[in-house]
Amino acid sequence: MQIITENLGKKFRNEWIFKAVNLTFQQGVSYTFTGANGSGKSTLLQILSGFIPQSEGKLIYQKNDVIISAEEFYKHIVIAAPYLELIEEFTLSELLAFHVQFKPLINHLSISDFIDFIELPQAKNKAIKHFSSGMKQRVKLGLAFLSDTAILMLDEPSSNLDLKATNWYIENVQKYAQNRMLFICSNQPNEYEFCHNIYNIQSFK
């Protein structure tokens, strides 16, 4: 799996957030985008995921030299980010049953296995709207780690996590990023210190 950017740029009104991004991202390699708040880290990640369009340039998705259409690319990625909401009316078990209809879990894990992994067995029948922000983030990260996709995208992964949950993230991120293309947007070194490639978004201004 590859993502190739050719002169990629994004502009809001008259201001360029970034431009002339020419990079090739490979499966099995990790990438981090750093930079000040509001500098465009999340915007670049959202463009790479197909969530929002670029203003200029070209974005190519391919697997084994075969082009993947933007409409089909979502099948290959999973993303955990503060701006992505969970379905609040579902219980945790209902949310997982819904999720696996679109993206199955790795190694044929069961919903019970997943709930044990995120260490929330007491909340399996609790509505997501009653979860704390830290519990919601743990669910998002669990879905990202355990969904069977080639590409894993994490934006501010330890946001809203306490020390115990942050250690859980650090313990698991490398394990579940193996053989995947990993993207992290962060200014917290402990979230990405293992990454192979670190780009400061300011270098694309």
List of long-range contacts for 94-98, beta carbons under 8 Å, 24+ apart: 95/128, 95/139
| Tens-digit pLDDT profile for residues 91-147 | 999 999 999 999 999 999 999 999 999 999 999 999 999 999 999 999 999 999 999
pLDDT at residue number 74: 87
Predicted local confidence at residue 177, as pLDDT:
93
Ordered by where they begin, the domains of the chain are 2-204 (3.40.50.300)
For residue 65, the model assigns a pLDDT of 85
**Cβ 86 vs Cβ 120: under 8 Å:** no
Residue 156: which residues within 8 A CB-CB, separation 6 or more?
81, 82, 185, 186, 188, 191
CA 4 to each of CA 9, 22, 63, 151: distance values in angstroms, whole numbers, following the listed order: 13, 8, 11, 14
Give percent of the chain above pLDDT 90. Answer: 83
3-class DSSP assignment, residue 27: coil
Confidence (pTM): 0.92
Answer yes or no: is pLDDT of 83 > 90: no
Hey, what are 156's tokens? 């501010």
Q: What is the pLDDT of residues 20-43, one digit of tens each?
A: 999 999 999 999 999 888 888 999
